[in-house]
Structure 1
Amino acid sequence: MAVVQRKAAAPNGAGMARLRVLLPLPLAGAYDYRVPQGMPVPPVGSFVAVPLGNRGSIGVVWDGEADPGLPERKLKDIEGVFEVPPMTESLRRFVEWVAAYTLSPPGAVLRMAMSAPAALEPPAAKAGWRLSAAGQRARRGEGARLTESRRRVLDVMEPGEVYAPAALAAEAGVSPGVVRGMADAGLLESALLPPGERFPVPDLQRPGPELGPEQAEAAAALREAAAVRHFGVTLLTGVTGSGKTEVYLEAVAECLRQGRQALVLLPEIALSTQWLERFERRFGVPPALWHSELGSRRRRDTWRAVAEDKVPVLVGARSALFLPFPDLGLIVVDEEHETAFKQEEGVVYNARDMAVVRARLAGASCVLVSATPSLETLTNAETGRYAALHLPVRHGGAALPEVAIIDQRRTPPERGRFLSPPLVQAVRDTLAEGQQAMLFLNRRGYAPLTLCRACGHRMRCPNCTAWLVEHRVQRRLQCHHCGHAEPIPETCPECGAEASLTPLGPGVERVQDEAADLFPEARMLVMASDTIPGPAAAAEAARAIAAREVDLIIGTQIVAKGWHFPHLTLVGVVDADLGLAGGDLRAAERTVQLLHQVAGRAGRAEAPGRVLLQSWNPEHPVMQALVSDDLEGFMAAEAEQRRPGHWPPFGRLAALIVSAEDEREADRAARDLGLAAPQGEGMEVLGPAPAPLALLRGRHRRRLLLKTRRDVAVQPILREWLGRVAVPASVKVQVDVDPVGFL
């Protein structure tokens, strides 16, 4: 561990200083430590090495006074201070705020802000090559004659400059062996490379795209918000394809002109190839990235560069909120309605809501962006908490797609098929015209359920309350909740009947099989998390579609996330009713958002687009809102349904999820919590009841739901409630304030 112990003269007289250190562990608060003689007192926010039991740990010097009554003999000395910028006050307040709001230990939140501990150590110096005295003479033409390869190397080198070996060989157009041979000949000498600029500075002089009148007006408002250097939230809405990205990139540019850092949060950063290309076209350089696909070295370099203010713009997933920005001036949350911004494990938080808090604590501007904003965000805009901007038309004159419903009660698919005759004919016509089509079904795999025809046995996950999904290409059954997988058995495991297992219902693989039979000449591409696992696959898919190497796209929800396919003119939704099943509070809202986003992939260029929704319930308000393009009216009606019962956003929810490996222990703890449930005006506790996923990853789950009026603070109620019940160590109680899902 490379720790710097900064020495100084020993203090005179008084005892050694004490300070508080917060550790990235699920502990209740900071621990007191002593500053040894000869070490200056590190400032608040410093990253320090400290002993913890029989091992060492890394923590952050935290605010507040140490306990003066703690005996000296119980204190341990700080072991050293890391040479890295201290954690800013705004980030420390953010850690405390998230911990208090989510009822999480502050150390558990701090852990998210220290996600690359290797970054605390100074980067290792790397060796390169520079011209030796003999090399400089040879560069001037003095001495022996040189080969053409060696001459090219000397021509690209400047005296005194140090070059990385691989980069030098590439720039000169020679093999690395030529460079090594020149070093052996004494023409080059070894030298340490200076710390390189890994994150190039965006070109603010580079002209952006030409904006239409509505875009230019919205961009001007966002630039002004970024320039005033004060906190504020703006909701930017607009129809799909209206140029929202280009508009908020103008706010990014203004933030950089102010000398501050900008953060853009995307729900699926690893799949956002086209967004990254758009950014590079605007600024001439790529942004820094932060997501789960990054390697450990890149995470380390990025974290440290952010802390040292060497990253002007970072684009990341929700965890990027906890990076150590020294001067954050702008946070953009693109597709703010996406549930991917909610972290469901560990510290449970919604990155959209926490982005607003982070911006407030940093004195930054926050922009929430969506074509289909959440009801919570719309309500904040309507009540004046957020400013609002709207882009009513598509950029470049492209028309919105025509949306129609295929009533499957009247024109059902053929027996054993899932595509109705009108949709099949529409796809045929589209392909015949040389255009691209898309079939959308938000269900991975081949079939969601495998059933024995002989005894009715259903193939179920042994760890979860979930059916196993057949993946025919891999010849396996898989649980999409815990990852359990097993080969497709030859016989029924219940009755032993041979060849009796039958897939029920469609997944995208089954739709692909049907499409291959119906459209044998079409070149098809399946876009699902199984087939597009990361950035490289996403980039190749986007390239192939843009190059018209694909005729028919078959996709799950990942195709709804911001793709621009200029030759795609038909979108067919195989099961538009899929998301409406169950009792989820937000089922209708989520379904209309998802289908509207999917529909927005059609007709984004000159050719008009068309969207066909296969539905068994065409009278449903979701279907009617999509056909009439009246999302505003739908959301208003949705709000009126929730308002009388004080459901969000007109009330507050907090869930307690009780889980244990032993079902009786889960039931007992849930019962005790139910008996101790808080009572009072404006609050109600629902449950305990088995969770919809009553068994998940081998743990039995029970749920209780606290519902209150909007003006009631739920955290004090939850703390008091949990404090009244002794929960065994074998039972876990997870708190989810403002749940977005109820599984």
Structure 2
Amino acid sequence: MNRVRLLVLNAALGPLDYRVPEGTRVMPGQVVIAPLGPRQVTGIAWEEEHLPSERVPDAKLRPILEILPVPPLNAALRRLIEWTADYYCAPLASVARMALSSGGALKGPATTTEYRLSGGLPERMTAQREAAMEALEGEQATIRELSGIAGVSEGVLRGLVNQGVLEPVEVDIDRPYPAADPAFAEPDLSPDQQAVADRLVKAVEAREFAPFLLDGVTGSGKTETYFEPVAAALQAGRQVLVLLPEIALTEAFLKRFEDRFGVPPVLWHSSLKSTERRRAWRAIANGPARGGAQVVVGARSALFLPYANLGLIVVDEAHEVSFKQDDGVRYNARDVAVMRAHFERIPVVLASATPAIESLQMAQSGTYERLELASRYGGAELPEIRTVDLTEYKPGHGAWLAEPLVEAMEERLERGEQVLLFLNRRGYAPLTLCRNCGYRFQCPNCSAWLVEHRFSARLACHHCGHEVPSPDTCPECGEPDCLVACGPGVERIADEVAERFPEARTVVATSDTLSSPGRAAEFVALVESGLVDVIVGTQLVTKGFHFPELTLVGVIDADLGLEGGDLRAAERTFQQIAQVAGRAGRGSKPGKVLLQTRHPKAPVIAALASGERDAFYETETEMRRDAGAPPFGRWAAIIISSEDEAEAREAARKLGDTRPNLPDMSIFGPAPAPLALLRGRYRYRLLVSAKRSVDLQGAIRRWLGGINHPNGVRVGIDIDPYSFV
């Protein structure tokens, strides 16, 4: 009898066996619908040898109901799903779900009805309708999606449909994307760029696994260089995946891509509408041979899409922490990208001006091939970097800009040049308290202070999203006009700039203000057209942007990232400041960077000021080696949480009491997490440290698998953790 084993998309169920109806054939990787009790479930046909389970007698098997009209997941993707689940101690079904991340795409070809403004007016105009119509100008989407854009109920919009204000448009969801032309605008590369590009093109043509570390200083033209192997893959009829760490970076990248290849790439990120996700998913699965997607640019989740004929992977800004997912399946997209390239037998390029120590170590050991671009393109020079000692140059009361930075700003603004002020702290102030009774505004769901956002007149938690309107009086003592903002955020810096330079046109660039690709595009257009004098931004502006008239970068608090006990604090600080410094002087005019610091002799600050990158990395690497820390040892975090504090504490104690006693492996904790309360759940952590020779994942599975916890307790495993909160 013909039977099939399914990986169903429910982590609690495990593998299930089904009968294949006579006359039907199911291949590994095909997506099917099968019965489960009175319900129907989606499953992926899997090889039995890769998905062991107790074999069910033939007589008990129920038949599958339907084979869905999508190409099967290929063997390379199935092996990647298995590897990711095994390495990160995640349920196989949870990883597989990421490959089938557009439910609508599984249903076959279809059209949908979207709506747009017709130009008409309603019989009776209300404030709500007027605001909705203003928000929907130029938009076309489903009623549900337009409701989210306009911030009104679906009922309000259906009323506008009935009155002809919104008109229906029938849309072919699966219409093809325009084809990219690899010869559209071939670039003029420098000799160094050409040598690197030739090596990468050769690797694409060889169709073999080859991991590269593209290590180029900021402004060296890494993007234009790796566009050449992209062109080679297109000429060979193969697909390319480019991973970017932030959605806000996509607009700048899209413009550069379209300038080179004549059309934009296919996008994949969380802000896509459901119809856009469906269209992209099906185009990716169909591949170029069937008129599908050629180049996909996306966030980390794009890594698990079912590419039909992948020929190259590029991870841009590969050092970025945002490539590590901190909930659900806790994977690092940089490392999983290398494994996908391994299973697909294709090259992978990790591009960065400030590579992670792990990547540099892989290059030093010969596992990765290192390609260097040591100078800026077109003769531009790297900026001069100086420190401003805040113990010597103290800003005035209520001020945060030291005099040397203010003077440098005056000089640049008088010359019509642009300035970037960097502070990696959103909002106006990180803490608000009452000067009368000392009350502090704290999140009710997290162990965190509420951050004041004056632009939107709200207090917000940056961990769970809880918001309250900014009050006029203290909620504890009732005193009016007594609330004090403590410390600076970017909004407060922008206020100071407005006071000191009232004529300067200032814009704040954060994840709040650049929350969509459209807003990011508007920001880039304003800066490039010279309509912005001063940018005040967070880490979003540290990478990817090329503004030739930007000649001065001021780092408001260079020591901020060094706070706390994070293993990678110095490395992250170096990367972040080096990246933001790289925004200065990218054109013909020289750039300058001023680092405001209270610790100018701290190793990371001194290395930045002296430009001794290699010496800093060598020192950090040796410290990791001595500590047995990654990449020379293995770390894992165990996070126990519950809505009941006593239950979480008891579960953590039980885990601690049953810890394995193995050679070359140490387990620290349990201890309350630095964020002991997060999204309404009390949290405890244990840290596992092991030598690389230890089967870390196996030891953790055996340890945790033998313990039963109450239903309210969650136990999370984070292999190679980046977050220590």
Q: Report 1:250-269 matches (<5 A).
A: 250-269=228-247
Q: Secondary structure at the match of 1:343?
A: coil
Kept in 2: contact 1:27–1:108 (CA 8 A): no
Q: Secondary structure at the match of 2:355?
A: coil
Q: Secondary structure at the match of 1:736?
A: strand
* 2:416 is equivalent to residue 431 of structure 1: no
State the 1:57 CA deviation: 1.6
Kept in 1: contact 2:183–2:231 (CA 8 A): no
Of 561, 564, 568, 1:582 maps to 564
Q: Provide the TM-score with structure 2 as the length reference.
A: 0.89
Deviations 1:281-312 (A, max 9, x none): 11111111100111101111111111111111
Aligned to 1:600: 582
Aligned to 1:41: 25
Separation in 2 of the partners of 1:416 and 1:588? 28
Separation in 1 of the partners of 2:175 and 2:100? 23
* 2:37 is equivalent to residue 53 of structure 1: yes
State the 1:400 CA deviation: 0.5
Q: Secondary structure at the match of 1:272?
A: helix
Kept in 2: contact 1:28–1:107 (CA 8 A): no
Deviations 1:494-552 (A, max 9, x none): 33333221000000111111110000000111101111111111111101100001111
Aligned to 1:312: 294
- The AA in structure 2 aligned to 1:203 is D
Of 362, 369, 375, 1:380 maps to 362
Q: Which runs of 5 or more structure 2 residues have no equivalent in the other structure?
A: 114-139, 141-169
State the 1:455 CA deviation: 2.2
* 2:47 is equivalent to residue 95 of structure 1: no
Q: Secondary structure at the match of 2:441?
A: coil
- The AA in structure 2 aligned to 1:40 is T
Aligned to 1:136: none
Aligned to 1:18: 3
Q: Provide the TM-score with structure 1 as the length reference.
A: 0.87
Aligned pairs, how many?
Answer: 664
Which of 196-205 and 357-366 deviates more? 196-205
Aligned to 1:389: 371
Kept in 1: contact 2:212–2:369 (CA 8 A): yes
State the 1:197 CA deviation: 5.5
Separation in 1 of the partners of 2:443 and 2:344? 46
Aligned to 2:644: 662
Q: Report 1:534-549 matches (<5 A).
A: 534-549=516-531
* 2:215 is equivalent to residue 237 of structure 1: yes
Q: Which runs of 5 or more structure 1 residues have no equivalent in the other structure?
A: 1-15, 128-165, 167-191
Deviations 1:375-410 (A, max 9, x none): 000000001110000101000100100000010111
Kept in 2: contact 1:467–1:479 (CA 8 A): yes
Separation in 2 of the partners of 1:506 and 1:486? 20
* 2:474 is equivalent to residue 492 of structure 1: yes
State the 1:269 CA deviation: 3.1
* 2:92 is equivalent to residue 110 of structure 1: no
Aligned to 1:141: none
Q: Secondary structure at the match of 1:688?
A: strand
Separation in 1 of the partners of 2:651 and 2:18? 37
- Cα RMSD of the aligned pairs, angstroms, is 1.8
Separation in 2 of the partners of 1:261 and 1:90? 15
- Residue 712 and residue 312 in structure 1: after superposition, are their counterparts in 2 closer, same or farther (change >3 A)? same
Aligned to 1:338: 320
Q: Secondary structure at the match of 1:477?
A: strand
Separation in 2 of the partners of 1:126 and 1:665? 48
Aligned to 1:62: 46
Separation in 1 of the partners of 2:250 and 2:567? 29
Separation in 2 of the partners of 1:453 and 1:120? 58
Kept in 1: contact 2:175–2:279 (CA 8 A): no
- Residue 213 and residue 42 in structure 1: after superposition, are their counterparts in 2 closer, same or farther (change >3 A)? same
Kept in 1: contact 2:434–2:484 (CA 8 A): yes
- The AA in structure 2 aligned to 1:24 is L
Of 704, 725, 735, 2:686 maps to 704
Runs of 4+ aligned structure 1 residues displaced above 4 Å come to 65-69, 192-197
Separation in 2 of the partners of 1:67 and 1:574? 58
- The AA in structure 2 aligned to 1:99 is A
Separation in 2 of the partners of 1:206 and 1:697? 50
Q: Secondary structure at the match of 2:424?
A: coil
- The AA in structure 1 aligned to 2:11 is P
Separation in 1 of the partners of 2:693 and 2:357? 18
State the 1:73 CA deviation: 5.1
Q: Report 1:513-532 matches (<5 A).
A: 513-532=495-514
State the 1:492 CA deviation: 2.2
Aligned to 2:122: none
Q: Secondary structure at the match of 1:40?
A: coil
Q: Report 1:335-414 matches (<5 A).
A: 335-414=317-396
Of 227, 230, 240, 1:249 maps to 227
Q: Report 1:167-178 matches (<5 A).
A: none
Q: Secondary structure at the match of 2:45?
A: strand
Of 541, 547, 553, 1:559 maps to 541
State the 1:490 CA deviation: 2.5
Deviations 1:446-477 (A, max 9, x none): 00001111222211111001000001122111
Kept in 2: contact 1:29–1:105 (CA 8 A): no
* 2:188 is equivalent to residue 210 of structure 1: yes
Kept in 1: contact 2:242–2:298 (CA 8 A): yes
Separation in 2 of the partners of 1:247 and 1:68? 52
Question: Which structure: larger Rg?
Answer: 1
